[in-house]
Amino acid sequence: MVTSSWTAAPAHAASPRRRGAVLERAILDAALEQLSTVGWNGLTMEGVAAGAQTGKAAVYRRWPSKEDLVADALRAGLPSLEDVPDLGSVREDLLELCRRAREAMYSRPGFALRSVIHECDASQAQRFQEVIIGGVVEPTIRLLGEVINRGIQRGEVRPDAANSYVFDAIPAMMMYRSKVHASEWSERDIEEMVDQLAVPLLRPERA
């Protein structure tokens, strides 16, 4: 009797069903991935479900609309800007802050956020105002305030420089160049902005 050498391949065990926080994290990650690749206009709940390897119903149970899903994805994914080390001079502190801002801008959540800002109409953008202000604007202004106040204490910065117009200058320039000129903010770009815009703006007046 001839015995066949063929044997059936073992059946692959079914992947465990994800639930709760694990599934939600997968859905939020898939939403960020879609935003950073196809943008706000290209993102669909079906595409997010496929990216998370789950059913569309699982997405809709948690987020009834695209806007709700994207707001939570951005809130969960945006990197935190917690502090800027004291490097001994306002110039070095600003360079480090700008480098960290650049990293945030060109992270996957950063690309996702910019797709929302650039593609949403006015009524849709209002839905994300809290996320943008709370996750990006306020932390950046707080850190700029710390850097500038340290410079004031060292005597490097004029005392009246700690104001909202000065705090807006660097983030506004980085966003403007990124949006209008598609600048990726090289190290040279950051140094030139700090040396030609920020430091002269902050420098005390000479007697």
Per 3-state DSSP, what percentage of the chain is helix, strand, and coil (rounded to 5)? 70, 0, 30
Q: Is residue 56 included in any domain, yes or no?
A: yes
Q: What local confidence, expressed as pLDDT, does residue 181 receive?
A: 61
Residue 150 and residue 103 share a domain: yes
Q: Is residue 81 included in any domain, yes or no?
A: no
Q: What local confidence, expressed as pLDDT, does residue 129 receive?
A: 80
* Dist. CA 103–CA 121, nearest whole Å: 26
Q: Is residue 4 included in any domain, yes or no?
A: no
Q: Is residue 51 included in any domain, yes or no?
A: yes
User: Cα dist. 55→45, 153, 177 in Å?
Assistant: 10, 57, 40
Q: Where are the alpha helices (DSSP H) in 106-163?
A: 108-119, 122-127, 129-132, 138-154
User: Cα dist. 45→50, 56, 174 in Å?
Assistant: 9, 7, 31
Domain that holds residue 126: 90-202
Q: What local confidence, expressed as pLDDT, does residue 176 receive?
A: 80
Residue 140 and residue 99 share a domain: yes
CA atoms 183, 188, 189, 190: torsion sign? positive
Residue 110 and residue 41 share a domain: no
For each successive 10 residues of the chain (207 residues), what is the average pLDDT?
Answer: 40 52 94 91 95 95 93 87 87 93 83 82 77 83 92 94 89 78 79 94 78
Residue 113 and residue 48 share a domain: no
Residue 120 and residue 40 share a domain: no
Q: What local confidence, expressed as pLDDT, does residue 87 receive?
A: 93
Counting the structural domains of the chain, the total is: 2
* Dist. CA 172–CA 168, nearest whole Å: 6
Residue 175 and residue 110 share a domain: yes
Q: Is residue 14 included in any domain, yes or no?
A: no
Residue 108 and residue 65 share a domain: no
Q: Is residue 10 included in any domain, yes or no?
A: no
Q: What local confidence, expressed as pLDDT, does residue 4 receive?
A: 38
Residue 151 and residue 50 share a domain: no
Q: Is residue 85 included in any domain, yes or no?
A: no
Helices vs. strands in the chain: H and E counts, helices first: 13, 0
Considering the entire predicted model, what is its pTM?
A: 0.74
Residue 114 and residue 195 share a domain: yes
Q: What local confidence, expressed as pLDDT, does residue 17 receive?
A: 61
Residue 116 and residue 64 share a domain: no
